Amino acid sequence: MGHDIGKIEICGRKDDILVMSQIHSRPEHPEEASRILVDQLTENAGWLEELDLI
């Protein structure tokens, strides 16, 4: 999915934990490419910004 920080791929989910990979980054932040993001899903979160990165 496209996001302001770059392209995000959803890799999997285990219970309420969502695992994603940032496969592209913005040109001004190349160090953020290829990082793994792990978020705990909540009842109210509908956007990446509403999740707390673990």
Q: What does pLDDT average to in each consecutive run of 10 residues of the chain (54 residues)?
A: 77 92 81 84 77 63
For residues 17 and 37, is the Cβ–Cβ distance under 8 A?
A: no
**pLDDT score recorded for residue 45:** 73
Which regions of the chain does DSSP assign to beta strands (E)?
A: 2-3, 6-14, 17-22, 35-40
* pTM of the predicted structure, to 2 decimals: 0.69
